C-alpha cells in the first residue's frame, strides 16, 4: 500500500472526504511509514493526497512546531472548500459583531471544527451558518476552538460568568457534525436567548 492508501485506511474519511483528527502518535506498527520527517512529506500541498482532499494540520497539541495531528476536511474539487459565498459575506459584513457590537466584522463559520460537509460547499451554505465577529472575538474563538478540538472538551461559558455552560449538549464531544451546537462560541446570540428562557 502507498502512504496515502495507508493514511486513508487509518483516517476513514466519509463520502464527503471528511475524516477524524488522526494523531501522529497513531503512526506505529502497520502505519509506521506515515511518520513525518521534515515537514508534511507525503501530505504536503503538492502531494496527490492534497490534490484530492483538503488536508489540515494541528500543531497545538504539544510544544514545538511539529505536526501533532492531521485530518481531511473535504474533497478538494473546487466546489468543496472553506470559502464563503460572496452573497453571504456581503450580508454578514454589514452587520455588527454579535459579541462586542462593533462594526466591520469578520465572517465567522459558526462551526469552529468546520466538519459539516454541507457548510463547506459554497452552493449549499446558508446565512444561518455564519455570524459577524470582530477580529478580537474571532481570534479568541479560534483559540478556544483549537483547545476544544485538542481536548474534546467544549468551551464552558461559565468561564465568562454565565450561569450555564451550554444551551445544548454536554462538555465532551467526539467530533460529531453537530458537536459545536450549544456552545457559547457557536452562536452567542442563540446562547443568550436560551439564557433568557432559563431565567424566565
Q: According to the model, what pLDDT value does residue 79 have?
A: 42
Residue 38: how many other CB atoms lie within 10 Å: 6
Q: Residue 198's closest CA among 151, 163, 147, 158?
A: 163
Q: According to the model, what pLDDT value does residue 47 have?
A: 82
- Over residues 185-194, mean pLDDT: 95
Confidence of residue 81 (pLDDT cuts 50, 70, 90): very low
Q: According to the model, what pLDDT value does residue 198 have?
A: 65
Confidence of residue 199 (pLDDT cuts 50, 70, 90): low
Q: According to the model, what pLDDT value does residue 110 have?
A: 94
* pLDDT, the chain, mean: 88
- Over residues 174-185, mean pLDDT: 92
Say whether pLDDT at 58 is over 50: yes
- Over residues 65-73, mean pLDDT: 87
- Listed in sequence order, the residues at least 6 apart from 118 whose beta carbon sits closer than 8 Å to its beta carbon are 124, 125
Distance CA 65, CA 60 (A): 8
Q: According to the model, what pLDDT value does residue 38 have?
A: 67
- Over residues 44-49, mean pLDDT: 82
* Cβ-contact 169, 127 below 8 angstroms: no
pLDDT tens column, 93-149: 999 999 999 999 999 999 988 877 778 777 788 999 999 999 999 999 989 998 898
3-class secondary-structure state, position 130? strand
Q: pTM higher than 0.75 for the full model?
A: no
**Site of grid cell 454536554:** 170
3-class secondary-structure state, position 28? coil
Give the whole-number percent of the chain exceeding pLDDT 90. Answer: 54
- Listed in sequence order, the residues at least 6 apart from 19 whose beta carbon sits closer than 8 Å to its beta carbon are 11, 12, 13, 71, 72, 73
Confidence of residue 82 (pLDDT cuts 50, 70, 90): low
3-class secondary-structure state, position 78? coil
Pairing of strands 53-58, 106-109: unpaired
Amino acid at each position: 500500500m502507498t502512504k496515502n492508501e495507508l493514511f486513508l485506511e487509518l483516517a476513514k474519511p466519509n463520502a464527503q472526504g471528511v475524516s477524524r483528527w488522526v494523531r501522529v502518535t497513531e503512526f506505529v506498527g502497520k502505519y509506521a511509514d506515515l511518520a513525518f520527517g521534515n515537514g508534511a512529506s507525503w501530505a504536503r500541498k503538492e502531494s496527490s493526497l492534497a490534490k484530492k482532499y483538503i488536508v489540515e494540520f494541528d500543531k497545538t497539541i504539544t510544544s514545538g512546531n511539529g505536526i501533532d495531528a492531521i485530518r481531511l476536511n473535504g474533497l478538494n474539487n473546487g466546489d468543496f472548500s472553506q470559502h464563503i459565498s460572496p452573497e453571504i459575506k456581503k450580508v454578514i459584513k454589514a452587520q455588527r459583531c454579535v459579541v462586542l457590537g462593533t462594526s466591520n466584522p469578520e465572517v465567522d463559520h459558526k462551526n469552529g471544527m468546520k466538519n459539516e460537509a454541507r457548510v463547506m460547499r459554497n452552493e449549499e451554505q446558508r446565512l444561518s451558518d455564519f455570524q459577524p465577529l470582530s477580529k478580537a472575538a474571532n481570534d479568541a474563538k479560534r483559540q478556544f476552538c483549537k483547545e476544544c478540538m485538542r481536548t474534546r472538551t467544549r468551551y464552558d461559558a461559565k468561564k465568562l460568568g454565565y450561569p450555564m455552560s451550554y444551551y445544548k449538549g454536554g462538555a465532551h464531544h467526539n467530533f460529531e457534525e453537530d458537536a459545536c451546537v450549544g456552545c457559547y462560541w457557536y452562536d452567542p446570540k442563540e446562547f443568550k436567548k436560551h439564557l433568557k428562557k432559563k431565567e424566565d
